[in-house]
Structure 1
Amino acid sequence: MIVHIMAGGPKQYIPDLEKFPKDVCWIGVDRGVMYLMEKSIPIYAAFGDFDSISQEELHKMEEKTGIIKRFKPEKDETDMELALLWAIKEGATVIRLFGSTGGRLDHTIANLQLLLRGAIDNQNIKVEIIDKQNSVAVVQAGAYTIDRMSEYKYISFFPYSTKIVGLTLEGFKYPLVRRNLPASSTLCISNELIRETGTFSFDEGILMVIRSCD
């Protein structure tokens, strides 16, 4: 099952949703529910304290949403995390997060942290953040194939652990062979594929992979 979760981040960072598959399960988080309603996207479930939604909007949400999970503002998890955990429990294999960047930096970092739910806690689940200019995921040590995409010219790799051991990049403009990267490294920013398909592999650590366009 593919689940798309729409949070309530600034609208200008949200990509064109028409480009994504229609046969997915959409979940709204707080004001993200309103964003989905504006696009006439069927909402399977809604999560949040909904403190940023008016009473009139709340009534509309109740009419348009199948499942509503309402929480108090004071809680241990963010609304996005609660929605993500629910999607994992429901059997999602791919989870894409929208409306989760821009605005408050702490909210963006919190959502980036949630990528680890797939990379570490549930390795059979792909969790990805997508906004208007970027696609972000994190992966554990292993070997991966990556395809060239016209939409995302640049590919950057950042250590998301204390170090990366043995990073090799093949098919890239700037290749690497078994390079070790400390957590502070910016060596692998703004790389590009020179073939239709490239590969990257590493022996230890957690790597953040960001695909970007200008």
Structure 2
Amino acid sequence: MIIHIVAGGPTNFLPHLQAYDGEDVYWVGVDRGVLALLHAGIMPKRAFGDFDSINEQELQQLKMKLPHIDIWPAEKDQTDTDIALEWALEQQATKIRLFGATGGRLDHLFGNVQLLFKGKDGQIELIDRQNVVTLYRNGEHIVEKRDEYTYISFIPLTPIRALTLRGFKYPLDACDVPLGSTLCVSNELIHHFGTFSFAEGILMMIRSKDEK
């Protein structure tokens, strides 16, 4: 199962959601993200949130339209997006794509990046108009070239031991990368696919492109 979650971040950071639609996709709205989905012509099958960012009239309309809506109190120990993500993981989704989770407040952004830790390697993707963010633990991983994204960056979330990059414009061979390093920012694939491997640590991969 593929689950797409649309959170309530600024809509100008959203990619074209219809491009990610398909018969095998299960759409979930989070708080104001439900309205973004409806505006895109997509009916979410489930919704989560305290819905404190919409008015009472909008909430009543959502209750009538949506097949499943889980309303949570505003005061709780998790964000609405976290609750929706944990539900998606319980469904054993093979891929979870998270939209509407960037832009605006930085505490929301960094909190949503931390949610990537909850999935397996590459299972959760955080996507906006210019970026796709995934997280990987030690081992060897294959990355395919995607023409719409020019750059691939690797950001250490812990100290990284013995990082090796193959098939990249700037290769590495068993290089230790400390926290705070910008060594692996703005790399590019030079073949249809490449590999990256490391012996220890947690690494964030960011595919990105410049705004046109």
TM-score (norm 2): 0.96
Query: Counterpart of 1:59 in 2: which secondary structure?
Result: helix
Percent identity between the aligned chains?
Answer: 52
Runs of 4+ in 1 over 3 A off after TM superposition: none
**SS in structure 1 of the partner of residue 77 of structure 2:** coil
How far off its partner does 1:59 sit?
A: 1.8
State the distance in 2 between where 1:168 and 1:207 align. Answer: 12
Deviation, structure 1 residue 18: 2.2
Query: How many residues get paired?
Result: 209
Find the residue that maps to 1:43 and give its secondary structure.
coil
SS at match of 1:115: helix
Q: Who is 1:110 aligned against?
A: 111
How far did residue 92 of structure 1 move? Answer: 1.4
Segment of structure 1 superposing worse, 142-151 or 103-112: 142-151
Instruction: Find out whether 1:210 has 2:211 as its counterpart.
Output: no
1:27 aligns with 2:23: no
1:64 aligns with 65
Give the TM-score normalised by the residue count of structure 1: 0.95
* 1: CA distance, partners of 2:150 / 2:19: 17
SS in 2 for 1:192: coil
8 A Cα contact 2:166 2:194, kept in partner: yes
> 3-state DSSP class of the match of 2:45?
strand
- Indicate whether 1:87 and 2:88 are aligned: yes
**TM-align CA RMSD:** 1.1
Counterpart for residue 43 of structure 1: 44
Could you tell me whether the CA contact under 8 Å between 2:89 and 2:119 is conserved in 1? no
Provide structure 2 residue ranges, at least 5 long, that are not aligned to the other structure.
Answer: none
**Matches for 1:133-212 after TM superposition, within 5 Å:** 133-161=130-158, 163-212=159-208
* TM-aligned CA deviation for residue 91 of structure 1: 2.2
Unaligned runs of 5+ in 1: none
CA distance, structure 1, for counterparts of residue 41 and residue 21 of structure 2 = 15
User: Contact between 2:18 and 2:40, CA under 8 Å: does it hold in 1?
Assistant: no
The amino acid of 1:189's aligned partner reads V
Tell me the amino acid that sits aligned with residue 9 of structure 1: G
Shift of 1:145: 1.0
